[in-house]
Amino acid sequence: VEFMALGSNAVQVCTAAMIYGFRVVDDLIDGMSQWMDDKGYTSVEQFTRAAVPQVSDWNELNMNFDTKAVINPDNCIECGRCHIACEDTSHQAITMTDKPEGGRLFEVVDEECVGCNLCYHICPVPDCITMEPVKTDKPPMTWPEHPLNPMRVAAE
């Protein structure tokens, strides 16, 4: 739905079909139909591209904005998807330790987390992983203003 709201008129699944089998297609159709009913949509055209006006040009983003993942252990079902995704494809910022009483504990290493949101998106539990803004002393700065922008340096 997110990709469609940003303008896609076709979406695909890959790993979901590998993990859950082709029945996931029926689940996706049912879930999307339910979501559309809940929102009052009768066709996909009603929400396709709906988010586009909210999109900012990349050059307008604050390069000094920082966010980190936070895992709520009370909501965690210990599936380990966040750890696997971060370990295998990102920055190895989520640790997994065995709890003395049994089970596993997943924690974010703030120094390693780059705020990519992968863990947030892969987690099957709503509100288990949140992305929390980090306060910084740095003033807002866009890419055209950034000292590491080679185009800015070349123009000087």
CB atoms under 10 Å from CB of 36, counted, come to: 16
pLDDT of residue 14: 80
pLDDT of residue 51: 95
For residues 48 and 7, is the Cβ–Cβ distance under 8 A?
Answer: yes
pLDDT of residue 44: 94
pLDDT tens digits, the chain, 156 residues: what are they? Answer: 899 999 998 888 888 888 788 889 999 999 999 999 999 999 999 999 999 999 999 899 999 999 999 999 999 999 999 999 999 887 999 999 999 999 999 999 999 999 999 999 999 999 999 999 999 999 999 999 988 888 876 656
pLDDT of residue 102: 95
pLDDT in tens, 52-90: 999 999 899 999 999 999 999 999 999 999 999 999 887
What 3-state class would DSSP assign to 51?
A: coil
pLDDT of residue 9: 84
What is the rounded end-to-end Cα distance, in angstroms, of the chain?
Answer: 44
pLDDT of residue 140: 95
Domains recognised in the chain with CATH numbers: 2-53 (no CATH), 58-133 (3.30.70.20)
What is the CA 91 to chain-centroid distance, rounded?
Answer: 14
